[in-house]
Every structure is written in structure tokens, then in C-alpha cells.
Structure 1
């Protein structure tokens, strides 16, 4: 304000020196003249201030650069947390489930073989890899996997299984499942769900790591044999319709209340399911009762379905006790490592007789399932000609 008054006085003084008359002395003229002078001086100072501010801004930008934009929502990440040391009890909760093999992307598989194994059965898995599992690597239509639960394992056992999976690419690991007999049915169910959703299997074969499977013959019969019609609904194995409920044994199932005998089911040493049945199990997994015996559970789950093609095949030696050795067997259960190696070597040498020296042995009779009779008369072991 003082500067304005000084400039105004200077303006009047210059006018007086030039001999010009001073502005009119009436009140209106003085007010108007003062207003004009103040507006001119204010505009002058404003323009000078803006120019100075612009020059200062350009200097700052030249020294520091343009400001960075605020990061988007996807870029506002917290810094990575430091790795934690987990106890054995915490490990299962930190693992994804299931833990699939890493060797390929999910593609449609014609046949997926699921061999149930346990964390400690590394030697059995080695024997299978050296024998009939080789058929999987030779046949692009089939993929073979060991199904193993990892829940509750210590850090060393977990690391060992992961290394085995990464080395052989044939293990389906279930990190959230404790591998015990009580969880066997849940284990098989999870494997079925994976085979349907991830492997997109047209057929799935469940067996154990002590089963010997002639996979090439299984594949040929699925594609061309008597089992080919209605293949999507096939349930193929060795059936039992007159198996009593074991009330006093490790297999005692307190959830079974349907009958004093189990419903017809294919023994768990090896059986084949078509894609329609596999998809039914997958879609209804949350509503299925997990009976203690996995093979009984599968037979019970599929019992009410229509158009299930149950194929009883005596060439499936898949009961809990082997019936012996027959050269026509497609699946043989309860075989030792030495027996598997001997059978595989005979097949590799071109023989079609896997039994030792080609000699067949029989421990007990077999049977053809009589689907026209009640279950109490379905499975009579009378005919010695049945393998």
C-alpha cells in the first residue's frame, strides 16, 4: 500500500513539472483518477509476479524432473515378507492341494492310471517305474501317476517327495491329506477329481503300488474289445456282490448301515471307470459318504445310477488275496518286487506268458458273476475253467 501511495505522488509531481494542470479538485474526479491509477499498478505487479513464478517453476523442473504419477491399484503392493520357518504341523496348511505333476499343461488324456502309494513306499514306486510303468512313457494315450498324501510329514520327507516328483514327473501329491488307511477313500476321491478336472481323462484306472498291470492289453480292449461299447459308462473289474461286512477287523466300517453285505463293487486292486461315471463322482464329491473301504465306496456311489455297464472280468486278479498266476490275467494284485520284475522281463522278451516259466498256479477258484441271480448267489466258485 505504501508503494502505491509513493507511485501516485510521483505521478502528480511529474505532471506538475511538465506544466500540465492537476486533475479536477472535485470529489468525483479524484476518486476516479485514484481508481485508474490503482488498477494500472495492480495489473503491472500481477503480470510481473506471474512471470517470475513461471521462471522459477521451469528452473525447478529442469533440476528435479517431472513428478511421477500415483501408482495404480495393481501396483500398490506391499514389500515381500521375509520367509518364515514352518513347523511340521504348519506345513500341510501352507501347501496347495492337490500338487500336480509339473511335466505338462492340462490336456485331454485317453487313460489315466492312478496307483495308490504311501510316502514311505519309495522302493515299490521304483519297481513299478522299472517294469510296467514304462508302458505309460511308450504310449502317448496313457499317463501313469502315483497318488501320495503329504499331510503331517516333516520337512525332510516333504522335500524328498517333491524331489522325487520333479525327477520322475509321475506323482500326484496331496499336501492337505494325511496318508493313513482311514483316509484312503478320500485319497482316491481327490485323485478322481483331479483326473476329471485337470487331466480331462476319458478313462481312469485305479490300482495299488503292488499291482501288476498289462497296460497295453488294457488299452487295446478299451479301444477295440468287448468293453468298447457304452465305454463312457463302463465299470470294469472283478466284482463281488456277496462280501460280508467285516465287523471285527481293521476294515470295520461303522458308517455302513445299508445291509449286512456290501453292495456289488469291483475290487480295489484294479478297476476302470468311464468318463461319465468319473464326472458323476466329481460333481457330487461333497455329498458322497466316505466309507472306510475305497472300492466299496465307489461301488456304493454308482449303485443307484442307470445305464452303468458293469463288466465282471476274471482276468482281474484284484482281490485282497491273489488267486495265483494265470497267463491271461490283465491285472494281478499282491505281487512282490521280484515277481513283478520276473513278469515284466518275460513280457519284454516277447513271451505272452508272464507266469514263471509259463506255468500257471492256482490258490483258489474264481467265478463268473451271475447278474441274473440275487447277490447271495452271484459269486459261486465252482468252475475250475474260470481263470
Structure 2
């Protein structure tokens, strides 16, 4: 009986549910017909991304370590299409305010800037008119340069070239250079910094052999892939020594000093060769018993020594030096015997060694280089793929604008940045915008190629002055002008084209300061004093104070938009003090701003000035190959790691 009533009840529900289901179906069709076009017209992408991210939060947390923060999609922002890309910066320089009679450091930079902008204006007009384009096209028609596999130069010809000879396409593994020469007799060095312990002038005899890269811009020394410096009379050690080193972007590395003792057994080798060979007198114990040796040592008797091999260079004695390029480094032999080996340093490649310099107390008989490459594999090759083009600009202010200082002929460096950290999700979604800032090059064909590169990739801003290292500060001002006037950025960052930037880490560091406060973020130097002597000397006319203001190292720092607005405004009013060291200039400007409104200085050692260390925010002096390696590690392992490769 109960079962019959239940069946009757279920039958009545089933009959009534049919009309209900039909009504629900018609209502669903109606809603889909009306709502779907509305959603697409109003921009589905701006609504759904956050919801989807929230929906898949649990699954995402289980993702493999291969899915780093750099790989996750960021919210898609509305973008504005650019109808016509204009690479030329709007920054100008008013030469009428330059005081031609003043000899102060500020006036000297103003004079240089006036001349550079005038020369740049003429050159840009030639490029726009097509005159420079015609000449540039003729020179760049055949980009594959054919080079000789050997070079011979006599000593007299070397003197005519100021001690420098060209290696057209650089070196390759197996290339070797032979130098036949004779060290000169020692002479008195009357430098005030080279006196002995008795305050007497010392006798010196030394020469320098260097492998150098092509000169980049005026005022910047060529990079030194190898610096080989025998000092026959010694230096501060007062013993004969050979010093080896590198210099990249005008910064010397850690030197290797061979002072006559063989490298330790546990020290790393270079292609199986020790870094330093032994040439000092060695002690011979074979003729003495242990007790006799200890007794002689106790009473102070001099050690019995035998000379296995003397210092490889002698005044007035002819030598034959051979420099060979190996897989792991350079090897130097003198008169057929190995003397020293020096590992390849980060930031250099063999094909970049396009010059050999020999200077100092030496008379060269001849130079012979052989087994040289016959073509240059890195001759301004750009990957013209739309994949590397800059994204469209956002429709509104950006969180962070990154201005990257570069030189006209740094094609390879810019391409490496495009392939690596400029592919970060924040840049690809236009939350962060990055642009290269480049001045005009002295070689017209370089400018022609630069304009083509800018037109294709859309990420270059050309500052219209003739490039000069002492005017680097003008590119910094141009970055701030573009950041506040074109980008309306909340924060503006300056870095170099050999700086690897962890964009997400920089954003997190910047946001630690409340948005209402003015901020200056970077690796900040406090209480630094100017050098008054040497290569980096700063005269009192250039900088009268005995101390610099606090300033962040130039390879990477960030300021808030109000500070950037102040800098641009002061520049346009001709009140901005320009100094040849752009990072010190930045510190000076921030200090001036700080006098009217408090600035929060955020110091972090993770903005590395020299090289790289794990967990970096920025890493400096990174070669294109290192950047690719660092980006791959960041993508695959999900954490920042350096690539201190050879």
C-alpha cells in the first residue's frame, strides 16, 4: 500500500516537472542570445582573468617548479594602438644659455652638450633626407665581412699605428699570436706614487700586451679581453711579477698575479694548464739531512737555492712570446716554455678581440698572428621576428617604466635583452614598459641600421645628440622626460643594456614604500668622496665639494614619478646641474628634491654593481650569452641564479 502511494506521488512530480524544464530551457536560450554579444562587446578579457585565476588557485599551487612566476599570465590590460611609431626623443637642448666664458665643470658639460646636439641635429636631418641612408646601404650591402686568416706587422709599422694592430674578425679557439721583442733597460719613474721605502724614485721596466675590443663610443675605452703586464723590476712587492686582468665597460676585474710561485695543486686549471708557473729560486734539500736543515734554519743560515728557470723576461734580451687562445682561456709561452694561463672572463668572447696593443718599455721586432677566423659570426645580426617586437602601449598610466641606456652599435646586447627579461609577463601585458635610449653614433651606417632596428622593434628612443660617454647624463634626463610625459609612469627605472633585471622582484621592492611617499631605490653609496688623481679624477672645477651626496649605483635604480617630474622641470628651466657621472648627478638631484619634500632612500645590495650573485634584483656586466643562460634558469628552475660561465 505504501509503495503504491509513493509511485503515484513520483508520477505526479514527473508530469509537473516537464513544463518546468521546458520553461527553463527557453529562458536559458534567451539569456545566451542576449548576454553573449554584450559580454564580447564590453571586453570579456577585462572581466574574466582574475576570476579564472581564483578558480584555479588550488590546481596552480600543485604545478611543477618549471612554472615560475615569470610564466604565469598577468591580467590583460586595455591597450592603445600606435598609428605611427616615432623613435626620436622630444628632448632638446637650449644652447643659448651656455656661458662660453665660464670654465666651471657645469659650463664645460653644457658646451659639450651644445656641440653634441648641434652635430646630432645635422646628422639626423641627413638620415631623414636619405643622404645618410644611401651611404649606409652601400656599406651594409654585404654584411658578411671576409677577413684574412693571418696578420703580419713589423715593429716600425706597429709604431706608426701607435702600438695597435687590427685582428679583423677577432680570434677563435686555436688562434695564436707570436711577438718577437726586447725589453728596454730600466729607467727612473718620477711618478709621485712610485717611490721606495726610503722615498726614492724607483727604476722601472715594464710593458703591456692587450687584446682589445672595438671602440664603442667617444670617451669610453675599448674593453680589454686580456691585459698581460710583465714588470721586470717589480712593483710594490719589489719582485719581478706578471699581472693579468680584464677590463669590461671601463671596470677592471680581479687581477691574477704570477710572482714566481707555481699555482697550488688544488687551484683550478685552464685547459689543463696551471695559471702560474714557477720561476723563482727553489730550495734544494737533497744534500742536507733533516736535522741539518732544521739546525741551519734555527741559527738563521741562508737557504741553499738553485735556479731552475729565471724570470722569463730580461732587459735587453730578445724573447719570443706566443699567445694562444684555448677553449677555457688564454695561454702565454715565452721561448717555448709555458708561463701563465688566464681563464676567459664573463662578458667577453673570442671574436670580440679585434685589436692587439703592445706598449711600454719594449722594442717590437715583428708580430705574426695565424689561424684567425675568416668571418665575424656576430656582425650585427638581428632576429627580425615579430615575437620580439614591443607590445602596444597601455591605455593609461603604467606602473613602472624602464629606460635602458645603450650605445648605437650595441645590436647584440639589445637583442639579448629582448629575448630575455623583456619577455617577462609584466612587460608583455604592458603593466611595465621598457625602452632603449640611444644617442647617434659617429659612423653613419650604424645610425642607418639603428633607425631600421627602431622601426621594426618599436622599442628604441633615439636621443638626438652625438654620443659621448661624458654626456651619459643626458640619456638619463631623456628617460625621465619620456617616463613622465609619454608613459605617465608611477615609477621610473634606469638601467644599462648589460643589466639583467628581475622585473617582478623590482616591482615588489618598489611597492614596499607607500605610494604617497617619494622614493629612491637602489644600491646606495653613502659618504663617497671624489677621486682627485688618476683616470677617474674629478677636478675641483667639476666638483668643488669633498663628498658626494648619497647616490645609487648607475646599473639599476628607481625613483618615484614626483622626483622625475622635478628633474624634467629643472632641466627645462635650465636649473639642473649636470655632472659627468650620471649616477652622482642623480643623487644630487634627489638631494635637492629632498630639501623641499622628504624622500625615502631604500638601499639594497641585491642591485648588484659588479657581476651577479644568486637572489639578485639586478645583475650588471652580463654578456648576451649570460643573459640567455640566466633567463633559462629563471624559467626552468623558478628562482634567480647566476651564470658565471667562462
After TM superposition, the score normalised by the length of structure 2 is 0.38
Give 1:183 shift. 0.9
CA distance in 1, matches of 2:577, 2:586: 10
2:607 aligns with 316
CA deviations on 1:34-58 (whole Å, 9 max, x unpaired) are xxxxxxxxxxxxxxxxxxxxxxxxx
CA distance in 2, matches of 1:209, 1:88: 22
CA distance in 1, matches of 2:123, 2:535: 29
Secondary structure of 2:554's aligned partner: coil
1:190-205 mapped onto 2 (5 Å cutoff): 190-205=478-493
Assess, with a 3 A threshold, how the Cα gap between structure 1 residues 165 and 231 changes in structure 2: closer, same or farther.
farther
2:629 aligns with 342
Give 1:252 shift. 3.5
Give 1:106 shift. 8.1
Of 504, 523, 526, 1:216 maps to: 504
Assess, with a 3 A threshold, how the Cα gap between structure 1 residues 292 and 276 changes in structure 2: closer, same or farther.
same
Does the CA-based 8 Å contact 2:520-2:559 persist in structure 1?
yes
The answer to whether 1:281 aligns with 2:570 is no
Assess, with a 3 A threshold, how the Cα gap between structure 1 residues 166 and 329 changes in structure 2: closer, same or farther.
same
Does the CA-based 8 Å contact 1:243-1:262 persist in structure 2?
yes
CA distance in 2, matches of 1:249, 1:103: 47
Secondary structure of 1:172's aligned partner: strand
Secondary structure of 1:146's aligned partner: strand
Q: Which one has a larger percent strand, Structure 1 or Structure 2?
A: 2
Greater RCO (CA < 8 Å, at least 6 residues apart):
2
Assess, with a 3 A threshold, how the Cα gap between structure 1 residues 352 and 198 changes in structure 2: closer, same or farther.
same
2:399 aligns with 110
Of 417, 442, 446, 1:157 maps to: 446
Does the CA-based 8 Å contact 1:233-1:307 persist in structure 2?
yes
Give 1:107 shift. 4.4
2:295 aligns with none
Of 110, 122, 131, 1:90 maps to: 122
After TM superposition, the score normalised by the length of structure 1 is 0.61
Does the CA-based 8 Å contact 1:235-1:309 persist in structure 2?
yes
Does the CA-based 8 Å contact 1:133-1:144 persist in structure 2?
yes
Does the CA-based 8 Å contact 2:502-2:617 persist in structure 1?
yes
Does the CA-based 8 Å contact 1:111-1:141 persist in structure 2?
yes
Larger radius of gyration: 1
Give 1:299 shift. 0.2
1:362 aligns with none
1:149-188 mapped onto 2 (5 Å cutoff): 149-150=439-440, 152-154=442-444, 156-175=445-464, 177-188=465-476
Of 277, 296, 307, 2:598 maps to: 307
Does the CA-based 8 Å contact 1:232-1:276 persist in structure 2?
no
Does the CA-based 8 Å contact 1:127-1:337 persist in structure 2?
yes
2:435 aligns with 145
CA deviations on 1:77-106 (whole Å, 9 max, x unpaired) are xxxxxxxxxx9983235789xxxx996598
Secondary structure of 1:345's aligned partner: helix
Give 1:314 shift. 1.5
CA distance in 2, matches of 1:303, 1:89: 33
Unaligned runs of 5+ in 1: 1-86, 360-387
Assess, with a 3 A threshold, how the Cα gap between structure 1 residues 299 and 345 changes in structure 2: closer, same or farther.
same
Give 1:137 shift. 3.8
Give 1:288 shift. 1.0
Give 1:158 shift. 2.3
Alignment root-mean-square deviation, CA: 2.8
The answer to whether 1:240 aligns with 2:529 is no
Does the CA-based 8 Å contact 2:394-2:430 persist in structure 1?
no
Assess, with a 3 A threshold, how the Cα gap between structure 1 residues 88 and 257 changes in structure 2: closer, same or farther.
closer
Runs of 4+ in 1 over 6 A off after TM superposition: none
CA distance in 2, matches of 1:103, 1:161: 21
Does the CA-based 8 Å contact 2:442-2:466 persist in structure 1?
yes
Give 1:174 shift. 1.0
Does the CA-based 8 Å contact 2:556-2:607 persist in structure 1?
yes
Unaligned runs of 5+ in 2: 1-118, 129-389
1:41 aligns with none
Secondary structure of 2:545's aligned partner: coil
Does the CA-based 8 Å contact 2:422-2:428 persist in structure 1?
no
Assess, with a 3 A threshold, how the Cα gap between structure 1 residues 180 and 290 changes in structure 2: closer, same or farther.
same
CA distance in 2, matches of 1:137, 1:312: 25
Does the CA-based 8 Å contact 1:233-1:276 persist in structure 2?
yes
- Report how many aligned residue pairs link the two structures: 259
CA distance in 2, matches of 1:106, 1:190: 22
2:270 aligns with none
